[in-house]
Amino acid sequence: MMRLDTKEKFMQWSAKAPANIALIKYMGKESFGVNIPANPSLSYTLPHLVTQVVMELYPGSEDIWEPLESNEFTAPLLNLAGQQRFLKHLNFLKQQFGYAGKFKVKSANNFPHGAGLASSASSFAALTMCASQALAELTQRPLPSLTQQAQWSREGSGSSCRSFFSPWSIWESNTASKIELPYPNLIHQVILIESDEKKISSSEAHRRIQTSPYYSERPSQAKKHLTQLLDAFNYQQWQKAFEICWQEFQDMHQLFHSANPGFSYFTPATEQVLLKLKTLWAHYQDGPVVTMDAGPNIHLLYRPEQKNLALEIKKIFAESYHVL
Ligand code: DP6
C-alpha cells in the first residue's frame, strides 16, 4: 500500500463526455494497434447521452474501476474484459505523462442499462478528458489540446475521438475535428429493437469485415458518400442526405452479412421498422435521417422544424417499441 498525504486524499477529478452517432461510418481499420480508420467518418454528437468519469488517487498497487454512484447516472455493468480495456487505456494515458501513481476510476452513463446503446465512445472520451486533467495537474504540465486528447482517446476506442467536437465531427486518419455544417440542433430518437449486449462487438466487426468481398471497395465508397453527404447538408438537401445515409448504413451491414463467417445485427423487427420508415417518408414526402450502428437499434435525426413530425413518428413506433 502506498500512502497518500492529506492533500492527495482529497484530490478528485471529474469529466463528462457525450456519445456520437456516425452518418458516414468508421468500419475497417488501416492500423489495428492505434485505430487508424480505413476511411474518414462524420458524426453528430449526442449531448443528451453522456458518460461521467470521476477519478481519485488510490493507495493500492493497481488502478481499479468502480461503478459511480449518482442520482442522475446509472453505472454501466462493465464486465471484467470491459474494465480491463478501460484501465489499459488509463495506463496508456499515464505513460503519456510519465506518471506511475495509481487511481480509482468510477464511471456511469445517463442512459439506461441495456438500452443497447454503444457507450464506448462517450466512456473513452470521458476517461481521456478526466485523466488528462488529473495527469496534467499531478505532473504540473499544461492541459493538452482537445485535438491531442482526441488522438489519445482514439487509441482506446476509435469512435470516441469524434466525441470531443460538436455538433458535427469529422475524423480522418489520426485527426478528428469540428466541422461547420447547417443543422446544428437536430432532434435524436432511437427505436430500441433489442437491449441485449451485442454478441459481436464493433471491434470484432472491424476485424471480421476484412473477409468480405466488398471490403476492398469500402474506403472509396465511404469517401464518395462523405463528399455527397457534405454537399447535401451544405445545400440543405435533406431528402438527399436521408438517401445517402440510408445507403451508407446498408453498405456497412452488407459488409457484416458478406463476411466469412457472416454475421448480422438485423432482426425481423429491424426489417419491419426500416420498411415502415420508408413508407412514412413516401407518405409525408419528408422524414428523419435514418442510421444504424453495429447493432439492431435504429437512430433517427430530425431538423428542429420537424418537431411535430418527430412526435407523430415517435407515437407510431412507441406502440410496439421503446423509443428513447
Ligand atoms: C459501427 O469505435 O467501437 O459504431 O475502435 O475498435 O473501439 P474500436 O471500434 P468502435 O467502432 C465503431 C463502429 C461504428 C461506426 C462508427 O461509430 O463510426
What does the pLDDT look like over 173-224, one tens digit per residue? 999 999 999 999 999 999 998 877 668 989 999 999 999 999 999 999 999 9
| pLDDT(233) > 60 | yes
Going by pLDDT thresholds of 50, 70 and 90, the confidence category of residue 75 is low
Q: Which atom of ligand 1 is nearest to the CA of 294?
A: 1
| pLDDT(114) > 60 | no
Can you tell me the mean pLDDT for 222-246? 98
Per-residue confidence (pLDDT) for residue 2, from 0 to 100: 76
Q: Residue 160 C-alpha to ligand 1 middle, in angstroms?
A: 8
Can you tell me the mean pLDDT for 137-152? 98
Going by pLDDT thresholds of 50, 70 and 90, the confidence category of residue 118 is low
Determine how β-strand 103-109 pairs with β-strand 41-57: antiparallel
Per-residue confidence (pLDDT) for residue 223, from 0 to 100: 98
Model pLDDT for residues 267-280, shown as the tens digit of each residue:
999 999 999 999 99
Please state, in angstroms and as integers, the Cα–Cα distance from residue 221 to each residue in 19, 147, 215, 250, 252, following that order: 25, 27, 10, 12, 10
| pLDDT(244) > 80 | yes
| pLDDT(119) > 80 | no
Q: Which atom of ligand 1 is nearest to the CA of 20?
A: 17
Can you tell me the mean pLDDT for 133-137? 98
Q: Residue 227 C-alpha to ligand 1 middle, in angstroms?
A: 20
The Cα–Cα gap between 262 and 254 comes to 10
Per-residue confidence (pLDDT) for residue 4, from 0 to 100: 85
Average pLDDT score, the chain: 94
| pLDDT(113) > 70 | no
Closest to 131 in 3D by CA, of 17, 14, 3: 14
Q: Residue 44 C-alpha to ligand 1 middle, in angstroms?
A: 14
Closest to 44 in 3D by CA, of 27, 19, 63, 61: 19
